[in-house]
Amino acid sequence: MKRTLIEVFLAIALIGASVFGWTNWKQNGAAGPQITELKAAAEEAAKTAKTSEDAVKAAQEEMAALREEMAPLESKVQQLEAVKAALANGATLADLEAAYKKDKNLSAERQVGLGALRMLTKGANDPATLESFRKALQISDFGNRKNTICAAQIGLAAAGEKVTIMSECLPKGAKDDKGEKSEGKDAKADDKHAKADDKKGGKHAAPHWGYEGEMGPEKWGKEFPTCAKGKSQSPLDIRGPFVKGRIVVTADYKEGALRMLNNGHTIQVNVNPGSKLRVDGIAYDLLQFHFHRPSEEKIDGKPLAMVVHFVHKNAEGKLAVLGVLLKEGNENPGIKTLWTNMPKAEGPEVEVGGVKFNPGNLLPKEFDFYSYEGSLTTPPCTEGVRFFILKTPVNVAKEQVAEFPFKLNARPVQAQNGREIVTN
Ligand SMILES: [Zn+2]
Q: Quote the ligand 1 centre to 309 CA distance (angstroms).
A: 5
- Does pLDDT of 186 surpass 90? no
Q: Quote the ligand 1 centre to 159 CA distance (angstroms).
A: 36
Backbone angles phi, psi at 32, to 5 degrees: -45, -65
Q: What is the mean pLDDT of the chain?
A: 82
The span from the CA of 379 to the CA of 208, in Å, is 9
Nearest to 157 by CA among 183, 177, 134, 138: 134
- What mean pLDDT do residues 274-294 have? 97
pLDDT band at residue 270 under the 50/70/90 scheme: very high
Evaluate whether 307 touches 296 at the Cβ level (below 8 Å): yes
**Residues, CB-to-ion distance under 5 Å, ligand 1:** 309, 377
- What mean pLDDT do residues 157-173 have? 69
Over residues 28-38, the pLDDT tens digits come to: 555 566 767 77
Over residues 73-126, the pLDDT tens digits come to: 877 787 888 877 777 778 888 888 888 887 766 777 788 888 888 888 887 778
Q: Residues 331, 336, 340, 346: is their CA dihedral positive or negative?
A: negative
pLDDT band at residue 199 under the 50/70/90 scheme: very low
The span from the CA of 298 to the CA of 71, in Å, is 56
In 3-state terms, what secondary structure has residue 352?
strand
Catalytic residue among 204, 265, 309, 312: 265
Cα radius of gyration (the chain): 32
Q: Quote the ligand 1 centre to 192 CA distance (angstroms).
A: 31
| 193 a catalytic residue | no
- Does pLDDT of 27 surpass 70? no
- What mean pLDDT do residues 49-78 have? 84
pLDDT recorded at residue 364: 98
How many CB atoms lie under 10 A from the CB of residue 422?
17
- Does pLDDT of 173 surpass 80? no
pTM: 0.56
pLDDT recorded at residue 81: 80
- Give the residue with greater pLDDT, 16 vs 180: 16
The mean-pLDDT minimum among 54-58, 177-181, 350-354 falls in 177-181
Q: Quote the ligand 1 centre to 373 CA distance (angstroms).
A: 15
pLDDT recorded at residue 194: 37
Q: Quote the ligand 1 centre to 134 CA distance (angstroms).
A: 29
Q: Quote the ligand 1 centre to 407 CA distance (angstroms).
A: 15
Domain architecture of the chain: domains with CATH = 2-80 (no CATH), 87-201 (no CATH), 233-423 (3.10.200.10)
Peptide bond into 273 cis (omega under 30): no
The span from the CA of 250 to the CA of 277, in Å, is 6
- What mean pLDDT do residues 324-342 have? 98
What is the three-state SS of 103-164?
CCCCCHHHHHHHHHHHHHHHCCCCHHHHHHHHHHHHHCCCCCCHHHHHHHHHHHHHCCCCCC
Q: Quote the ligand 1 centre to 296 CA distance (angstroms).
A: 8
Backbone angles phi, psi at 385, to 5 degrees: -110, 125
Q: Quote the ligand 1 centre to 90 CA distance (angstroms).
A: 45
Query: Could you tell me what percent of the chain has a pLDDT over 90?
Result: 50
